[in-house]
């Protein structure tokens, strides 16, 4: 695709770690030009935040994974000359993204009100942990902490387990997606009014919104607390057979469906006793215990051979190696290679969005700290 949807849009990414940088990267995937404004000493803190201690070309794979297609401009905002150059960039930008604690950008005269004076057309995207008000506003906005405070960890795992967090930074991911939606909406408004605006999201509000289904149930069922199944728990609010079960050679996932129909397909006569659909939730542990015993008798492929032709919702549980080897994954063409200016190649995932039938790939890898300073100074006339 020669021209992408956001070609011509200039984004300044002041953010660190995950939610902000990921949002800025998604805008870059869609064609925006993203200049990452980083601390002159050390840059984005995620450059050294590793997963499995993995470093590539001096930076963590965490940093590489969410900063492709960006330029890096290193600046010391406590230095008057550097700060003035950054403000000159703000005057020419379309979007600014920050994810610092409330009040941090104001120290440098880069908060929304100050930035609006520099550039009334600027769309300013701000991420906080818990919003700009209340007793949590100055606490660290970190994913596991937000998962814990939001009640989310009581939805995972089985009833005999302690609170179980997701194995991914889900609060960060949904916050990032919310910010991108808000920024794009503000840009549409700017197209008709010429006016920029402030888009604010928080990890806490995004974590609560992520739970909209179960919180709506909780708000309308008399305030009952979620009760996790004691057998193969997978969703605190869903009936049997919902869960993952061991087979003779692996695991199979069963989603929502009739317990009676499942019993017929599996040849499990015990399930015929549960005629009342309400019992599929009220007595789900009994039902799931029957399935635990029964499903261990045959291989995953054998069970899939009975369930899939009947369009019963089920799936094999794949490990990464088997996922990558599967034709279903390969046809997605979801792995791409990005390359730094110095030739370092990093394999990563691509943007999941397709536009006009075309996948969106990125060739430019995450930048080395400050590698674009000279070019940006010259292009934008920064002094």
Active site (catalytic) residues: 235
Q: Which residues contact 374 (CB under 8 A, 6 or more apart)?
A: none
Q: Which residues contact 122 (CB under 8 A, 6 or more apart)?
A: 90, 93, 94, 95, 96, 115, 116, 196
Helix, coil or strand: residue 50: coil
* Token pair in block for residue 209: 């919104």
Measure Cα distances from 142 to 19, 67, 230, 330, 355 in Å.
10, 19, 29, 34, 33
Burial (CB count within 10 angstroms: exposed 0-12, middle 13-18, buried 19+), residue 198: middle
Residue tagged 């050294």 (tokens): 48
- The span from the CA of 31 to the CA of 156, in Å, is 37
Strand order in the sheet with 10-13: 70-75, 33-39, 10-13, 95-98, 123-128, 197-202
Q: Would the CA dihedral through 79, 81, 86, 91 be positive or negative?
A: positive
């Amino acid at each position: 695709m020669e021209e992408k949807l956001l070609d011509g849009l200039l984004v300044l990414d002041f953010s660190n770690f995950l939610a902000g940088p990921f949002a800025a990267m998604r805008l870059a995937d869609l064609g925006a030009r993203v200049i990452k404004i980083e601390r002159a000493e050390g840059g984005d803190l995620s450059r050294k935040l590793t997963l499995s201690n993995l470093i590539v070309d001096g930076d963590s794979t965490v940093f590489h994974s969410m900063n492709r297609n960006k330029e890096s401009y290193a600046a010391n905002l406590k230095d008057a000359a550097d700060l003035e150059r950054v403000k000159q960039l703000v005057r020419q930008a379309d979007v600014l993204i920050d994810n610092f604690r409330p009040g941090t950008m104001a120290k440098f005269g880069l908060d929304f009100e100050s930035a609006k004076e520099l550039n009334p057309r600027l769309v300013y995207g701000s991420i906080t942990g818990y919003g700009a008000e209340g007793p949590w506003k100055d606490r660290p906005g970190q994913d596991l902490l937000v998962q814990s405070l939001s009640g989310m960890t009581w939805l995972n795992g089985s009833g005999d387990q302690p609170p179980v967090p997701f194995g991914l930074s889900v609060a960060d991911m949904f916050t990032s997606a919310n910010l991108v939606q808000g920024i794009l909406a503000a840009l549409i408004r700017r197209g008709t009014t010429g006016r920029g605006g402030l888009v604010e999201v928080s990890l806490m509000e995004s974590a609560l919104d992520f739970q909209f289904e179960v919180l709506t149930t909780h708000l309308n069922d008399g305030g009952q607390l979620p009760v996790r199944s004691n057998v193969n728990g997978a969703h605190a609010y869903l009936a049997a057979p919902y869960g993952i079960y061991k087979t003779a050679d692996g695991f199979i996932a069963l989603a929502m469906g009739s317990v009676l129909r499942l019993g017929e397909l599996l040849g499990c006569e015990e399930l015929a006793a549960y005629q009342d659909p309400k019992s599929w939730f009220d007595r789900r542990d009994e039902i799931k215990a029957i399935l635990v015993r029964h499903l261990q008798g045959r291989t995953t492929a054998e069970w899939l051979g009975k369930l899939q032709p009947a369009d019963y919702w089920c799936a094999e549980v794949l490990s990464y190696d088997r996922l990558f080897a599967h034709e279903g994954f390969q046809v997605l063409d979801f792995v791409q290679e990005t390359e730094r200016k110095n030739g370092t190649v990093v394999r990563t995932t691509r943007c999941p969005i397709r536009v006009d039938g075309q996948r969106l790939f990125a060739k430019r890898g995450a930048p080395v700290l400050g590698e674009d300073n000279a070019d940006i100074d010259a292009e934008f006339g920064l002094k």
